Structure 1
């Protein structure tokens, strides 16, 4: 997975972007970063299958990323698709067409593996000194939870409560809380763990609740409190998308699922028994990069 010596590359194809990142050190400083905007949320049919317009978007983005990587001398990279493609009922057909038209074979990770990678990323970011850690990661299609006391999690789970999923099916918040509580109870008591929120959903909700903006850099400490989340969940539910998109931290393309994201985050934090989470700027993609580059447990610790 390299271009220059020691380089590793990942092409992360998700609902809102196809992001090519190449790094050459365990601190994951990008030597190449290229992003193509996608709107696959607008290209799903009633069964969450990917329509022709969505396939064409993915093909164009993957083809462009491949050309960018080749021009930069990155000959090998790992292209992977998140749940919007992985869990689509026509995923096999989509993957086959993308490979036929671009020469790039997309791969997918299971939800459990995504949970494990998010944990690896958060553990490397915050370090061993925080002790037992639980990582909560809200994606569009699923929610990932992982916990452990060392470099590897002792438990990892994926639950079908992503922000996009819930915004499409309008689940009652009380039903969601009950379902998440039941699922989290099966994972054991996580209240004594250091709680971490990964993903764009947590980052944007933290910014909305007063955390410093991303332009201040990744090393700034950011947190999200459940009391702030509950207040904003109610306000977001009462706003149209255009009004949400004008709020701090809420991007225009994610405005439609921001209310559902707030409901999921509040229910997940409550079910995990935590009133506050520390925001981690790294998640599954960074966990995958760390795995590919072979960083040891003690090679990086960046406590925000």
Structure 2
């Protein structure tokens, strides 16, 4: 990683933003943080390919991030893309086009590697006193799970059950959401997929931790303290509260959901699916409560960069 000694940076290109973060010593207090808003979910065709307008958004965001980093004296960052690009059928073409137009090749992390990094971030955040830990990360395209009681997880899984993916698959933004039988079928489908992926693993004795915007927003919806009060305020999501909100979300159109505490406008359309997936994860793993962690894959990657130095595979900067 080139730049000032001890300084590392990543560019996290996701569905709703390209987030540039540079830290020196710890992800807790970034020396630089800048978001470029994206709406890549609106640039997908019916086959989940990213259309040219989506590629243009990514190109502009990458160029902006590099300009800001250079002005701050950061001469190298590690760029990576999440499932919105990684799982697109035309991912290779998208990455090639971005590289041709910006000189930056976006890396894609396998789902299980995202799960491992989220586990590492949560372990660093909560410390060893938490004991055996299960990390749940609900993204837009995929769900990552990781569990263990050591520095590295002993179990990692990645499932195509992200909030955006489930919304599309179950057509939850249409009449199905208000059809009780259809909603119940959706819950069963997601639950069964999670159970099958866990292959009988017993995780009920692990502390459950939620590492994603989905869990943060659902916890706020269910009464947790708002984010502006800071990351050190303990926050939890309880299964009983979540179950109380699912039918209410199902009866609301997206614009009305966006007025609820914790539900952002751009995530409102997939908030019902996020709640269904969160419930399925909690039930399948035997947890009535999830502790919320403000760190996830991005912070796990930053911790890897800080801890391993230039020999680490992620340190091949753009």
Normalised to the residue count of structure 2, the TM-score between the two structures is 0.91
Judged with a 3 Å threshold, the aligned counterparts in structure 2 of structure 1 residues 187 and 68 are, in CA distance, closer, same or farther, namely farther
1:75 corresponds in structure 2 to 75
Distance (Å, rounded) in 2 between the aligned partners of 1:99 and 1:215: 36
Name which of 192, 199, 202 aligns with 2:212.
199
Structure 2: gaps of 5 or more residues? 171-184, 310-318
Superposed CA deviations along residues 241-275 of structure 1, whole A, max 9, x for unmatched, are 10000000000000010010000000011101100
Superposed CA deviations along residues 176-211 of structure 1, whole A, max 9, x for unmatched, are 112212222x15100000110110000000000000
Superposed CA deviations along residues 29-73 of structure 1, whole A, max 9, x for unmatched, are 100001000000000000110001100100000110011111111
Name which of 264, 289, 293 aligns with 2:302.
289
1:155 corresponds in structure 2 to 155
Matches within 5 A, 1:230-269: 230-269=243-282
Distance (Å, rounded) in 2 between the aligned partners of 1:165 and 1:66: 31
Distance (Å, rounded) in 2 between the aligned partners of 1:107 and 1:212: 35
SS of equivalent to 1:116: helix
Judged with a 3 Å threshold, the aligned counterparts in structure 2 of structure 1 residues 289 and 201 are, in CA distance, closer, same or farther, namely same
Deviation at 1:28, TM superposition (A): 3.3
Distance (Å, rounded) in 1 between the aligned partners of 2:27 and 2:81: 24
Deviation at 1:238, TM superposition (A): 1.1
Distance (Å, rounded) in 2 between the aligned partners of 1:92 and 1:7: 30
Residues 140 and 165, structure 2, Cα contact 8 Å, conserved in 1: yes
Distance (Å, rounded) in 2 between the aligned partners of 1:108 and 1:79: 9
Distance (Å, rounded) in 1 between the aligned partners of 2:252 and 2:27: 40
2:26 corresponds in structure 1 to 26
1:278 corresponds in structure 2 to 291
Residues 157 and 197, structure 2, Cα contact 8 Å, conserved in 1: no
Residues 14 and 81, structure 2, Cα contact 8 Å, conserved in 1: yes
Judged with a 3 Å threshold, the aligned counterparts in structure 2 of structure 1 residues 56 and 84 are, in CA distance, closer, same or farther, namely same
SS of equivalent to 1:99: helix
Distance (Å, rounded) in 1 between the aligned partners of 2:146 and 2:200: 9
Name which of 164, 170, 187 aligns with 1:173.
187
Residues 27 and 302, structure 2, Cα contact 8 Å, conserved in 1: no
Structure 1: gaps of 5 or more residues? 297-304
SS of equivalent to 2:290: strand
| RMSD, aligned α-carbons | 1.2
Distance (Å, rounded) in 2 between the aligned partners of 1:126 and 1:119: 11
Q: How many residues are aligned here?
A: 295
2:239 corresponds in structure 1 to 226
SS of equivalent to 2:193: helix
SS of equivalent to 2:31: strand
Distance (Å, rounded) in 2 between the aligned partners of 1:190 and 1:279: 17
Deviation at 1:27, TM superposition (A): 4.8
